[in-house]
Amino acid sequence: MRHRELWALLILAGIARSASGQTAWRPPVGHSQIPIWPGAAPAAQSSDGPETAGTVVDANGKPKLVGGKPWTYVVNVVQPTMTIYSPPGGGTGAAVVVFPGGGYNVLAIDLEGTEACDWLVAQGVACILLKYRVPCAKSGPYQDCRMALLDAQRAVGLIRFRAAELRIDPNKIGV
């Protein structure tokens, strides 16, 4: 078994042990989620269950730590959203769209999402956290994640369209 497959198996095993009683991910207080698609998203795929957020745990039920801290995953995302983190006072006008990692199987929503946004906002940069659709279909040795690409393109387009409202320079958007 290759390293990547082992990692995915360990994550999914931890998710399965910690998913009971969990609900969909919600942004921190003071931030709201904005759906990026009106109605159903294009290239929609069915899900194995409802969107679920939780903490990855080991076989003993203890949180798996990364950098000394537990981390929150999100699975079965079928309704992608973006969450805007605005710097106080308007900031620099620059913005970064953050796509939390997870191998197109899960989203490491805090470790590779909210924490990055908190840091960027402290630097005066607006942050847009994209909760894109996962998991993606496996096609050969790679993930086929057209729907995640569609979500990314849609989010950047919406941010450019709403740039004035969000106090973002449409020419200073990075990912």
Q: With contact defined as beta carbons under 8 Å apart, do 77 and 38 qualify?
A: no
Instruction: Give me the mean pLDDT over the 40-67 stretch.
Output: 89
H-only helix segments in the chain: 3-18, 115-122, 146-161, 163-166
Q: What is the pLDDT of residue 10?
A: 41
Nearest partner of 19 among 53, 62, 47, 48, judged by Cα = 53
Phi, psi (5° rounding) for residue 96? -130, 130
Q: What is the pLDDT of residue 94?
A: 97
Q: Which of 28-32, 49-53, 92-96, 109-113 has the lowest mean pLDDT?
A: 28-32
On the question of pLDDT at 52 being above 90, the answer is yes
Q: What is the pLDDT of residue 81?
A: 97
Q: What is the pLDDT of residue 137?
A: 76
On the question of pLDDT at 7 being above 50, the answer is no
Q: What is the pLDDT of residue 20?
A: 46
On the question of pLDDT at 36 being above 60, the answer is yes
On the question of pLDDT at 17 being above 50, the answer is no
CA distance 119 to 121: 6
* Domain ranges across the chain: 3-174
On the question of pLDDT at 5 being above 90, the answer is no
Q: What is the pLDDT of residue 34?
A: 94
CA distance 44 to 39: 11
Q: What is the pTM of this model?
A: 0.83
Average pLDDT, the chain: 86
Tell me the sheet residues that pair with 126: 95
Q: What is the SS3 assignment for 112?
A: helix
Residue listed under structure tokens 């710097």: 87
Q: What is the pLDDT of residue 142?
A: 66
Per-residue CA distances from 88 to 93, 135, 139, 162 (Å):
11, 34, 44, 18
Instruction: Give me the mean pLDDT over the 151-175 stretch.
Output: 96
Per-residue CA distances from 104 to 36, 61, 90, 123 (Å):
19, 24, 33, 29
